[in-house]
Amino acid sequence: MAEELTPENPENPEISENPEAPEESEEPIKQRKNGLYPGVSDELAENMKSGWADTELRDPEPIAQAAETAARRAALSARFPGERLVVPAGNLKTRSNDTEYSFRASVEYAYLTGNQTEDGVLVLEPKGDGHTATIYLLPRSDRENGEFWLDGQGELWVGRRHSLTEAEKRYGIPASDVRELADSLREATGPVRVVRGYDAGIEAALTDKVTAERDEELRVFLSEARLVKDEFEIGELQKAVDSTVRGFEDVVKVLDKAEATSERYIEGTFFLRARVEGNDVGYGSICAAGPHACTLHWVRNDGPVRSGDLLLLDAGVETHTYYTADVTRTLPINGRYSELQKKIYDAVYDAQEAGIAAVRPGAKYRDFHDASQRVLAERLVEWGLVEGPVERVLELGLQRRWTLHGTGHMLGMDVHDCAAARVESYVDGTLEPGMVLTVEPGLYFQADDLTVPEEYRGIGVRIEDDILVTADGNRNLSAGLPRRSDEVEEWMAALKG
């Protein structure tokens, strides 16, 4: 990794703190401590200003979801008439020293704009009966003051940014320089709301103009707006699922290599598919072999992969527009379930079947969870692991020792989407066409659970699919992956040749 020339420059703040401002200091540019160059000569600085081709994009294509983001902004405008609304993308976060984590824009910002660049801010200014939207962005790197090649976030270091003119055409929103926004917001009058938690500088500029209660109302509205997906979103979720199916196939084909190494071979294999076909994984992949399957969010992925054990693979590809799949399969590493593994797996399969059948418009959101839990409670009583009757078990929640988690959640731009929605709109709400949720029952017999027979201990099974609520029922977006135990075995055998 190359070393930047001037990431810090206390003697020349125009370069270090505001790299695109006109240079006022005549002092030489100062390199970082332990850098190899003592500075930049006047001749080199002048040379770097010229001789570059014009790379402005004259007619960039609008983003695919431009019509949808415009409709979303219109809905937001209608909900908060007469109020200034501020939605930041967020800033880069330091990973260590002078390296940053890969940037992912806030969901609220990306949902309303389609833009994914750091430091961006969407502002809706009240005007008449509605609002005027402006997207505030960093312009292209300045070539006159050297920022494009000297600053750590300059164009030659991290890549070209779109010009403001290009951005306007791509996103269908007037664009302005974000470096001027904080001062403008400090002078703002009238009611203001901001989405908190992403940009401390923007929040500081509004500190005397906003309240936590009003800002939370904005956040809740934007979360609930995503409960029902539009056609673009459904298409993106299907893309994410289709790539995820291929990622699962990739894993099955290399299970022998995972046995020779560790769960990380599985993680890396799936990650390759996610990066080739999408933006990233939508969450840390859970590649849990053997007893690790009993840890719900096992993301260390550093354990052994052994023939005869089960592999619980919970993973999802995230598309370039941030929509993620969330699919789980529990696979026999050697390709065949043992008798006990099959018994437990089939119980979870039956529970999932009951849950999926309960997903339909007009049904209560909780119905699929209740249907799945009932099946699992019945099996636990039948196997003698908990004392019945089943109604008593469900009333007291006794099955939760082995089922542990809820049976699903909303899915979208976050793997646990719409999390800020009101309880009455989400968990206590009613399913509508366009909602997408997971159905994912599981049974987990911990390795140290002395209340179950020894042969059960260390077995964990979860089956998870992404379900779209349709006008007449539901559609399993992840039906491309087999679920029934015999079909899983046949599928694995075919993939292994």
- Residues 196 and 245 occupy one common structural domain: no
Sheet strands (E) in 262-411? 280-281, 286-289, 310-315, 317-318, 327-332
Name the band, by pLDDT with cuts 50, 70 and 90, for residue 1: low
Contact between residue 91 and residue 97 where contact means Cβ atoms under 8 Å apart: no
Contact between residue 377 and residue 389 where contact means Cβ atoms under 8 Å apart: no
Identify the bridge partners of residue 90 per DSSP, sorted by sequence position. none
388 domain-assigned: yes
- Residues 450 and 381 occupy one common structural domain: yes
Residue 13: the pLDDT is 35
Residue 471: the pLDDT is 98
Name the band, by pLDDT with cuts 50, 70 and 90, for residue 35: confident
Residue 26 scores a pLDDT above 70: no
Name the band, by pLDDT with cuts 50, 70 and 90, for residue 5: low
- Residues 374 and 442 occupy one common structural domain: yes
- Domain residues for 396? 231-496
The last residue of a domain, from among 164, 194, 226: 226
The last residue of a domain, from among 201, 226, 251: 226
pTM for the whole thing?
Answer: 0.93
- Residues 268 and 288 occupy one common structural domain: yes
Residue 15 scores a pLDDT above 60: no
Q: Summarize the confidence of residues 205-228 as an average pLDDT.
A: 97
Name the band, by pLDDT with cuts 50, 70 and 90, for residue 132: very high
Residue 209: the pLDDT is 96
For residue range 467-487, what is the model confidence (pLDDT) as tens digits?
999 999 999 999 999 999 999
Identify the bridge partners of residue 312 per DSSP, sorted by sequence position. 288, 330
More confident residue, 247 or 21: 247
Residue 165: the pLDDT is 98
Angle at 336 between CA 332 and CA 340, to 5 degrees: 80
18 domain-assigned: no
- Residues 221 and 237 occupy one common structural domain: no
The last residue of a domain, from among 226, 248, 266: 226
- Residues 413 and 275 occupy one common structural domain: yes
5 domain-assigned: no
- Residues 76 and 190 occupy one common structural domain: yes
- Residues 198 and 271 occupy one common structural domain: no
Residue 11 scores a pLDDT above 90: no
430 domain-assigned: yes
For residue range 277-315, what is the model confidence (pLDDT) as tens digits?
999 999 999 999 999 999 999 999 999 999 999 999 999
- Rg of the Cα atoms in the chain: 27
CB environment 118-156: b (16+ within 10 A), e (fewer): bbbbbbbebeeeebebbbbbbbbbbbebbbbbbbbbbbe
11 domain-assigned: no
CB environment 18-51: b (16+ within 10 A), e (fewer): ebbeebeeeeebbbbeeeeeeebeeeebeebeee
Q: Report which DSSP code applies to 364.
A: B
Q: How many CB atoms lie within 10 A of CB 453?
A: 13
Ramachandran region, residue 33 (left: φ > 0; alpha: ψ -120 to 50; beta: rest): beta
Contact between residue 126 and residue 81 where contact means Cβ atoms under 8 Å apart: yes
For the chain, give the mean pLDDT: 94
Name the band, by pLDDT with cuts 50, 70 and 90, for residue 6: very low
Residue 32: the pLDDT is 73
Contact between residue 140 and residue 346 where contact means Cβ atoms under 8 Å apart: no
192 domain-assigned: yes
- Residues 251 and 197 occupy one common structural domain: no
CA distance 217 to 191: 13
**Which candidate, 49, 130, 47, places its Cα nearest to that of 83?**
130
6 domain-assigned: no
Per-residue three-class SS string for 379-436: HHHHCCCCCCCHHHHHHHCCCHHHHCCCCCCECCCCCCCCCCCCCCCCCCCECCCCCE
92 domain-assigned: yes
Amino acid at 293: A
Q: Summarize the confidence of residues 334-357 as an average pLDDT.
A: 98
CATH number at residue 277: 3.90.230.10
- Residues 411 and 379 occupy one common structural domain: yes
What is the torsion angle, in degrees rounded to the nearest 10, for the CA atoms of residue 410, residue 267, residue 401 and residue 381? 90
Residue 488 scores a pLDDT above 80: yes
Q: What are phi and psi of 58, to 5 degrees?
A: -80, -30
Contact between residue 321 and residue 473 where contact means Cβ atoms under 8 Å apart: no
Contact between residue 80 and residue 218 where contact means Cβ atoms under 8 Å apart: yes
CATH number at residue 95: 3.40.350.10
- Residues 166 and 272 occupy one common structural domain: no
Angle at 73 between CA 60 and CA 130, to 5 degrees: 115
- Residues 252 and 188 occupy one common structural domain: no
Residue 326: the pLDDT is 98
Query: How many domains would you assign to the chain?
Result: 2
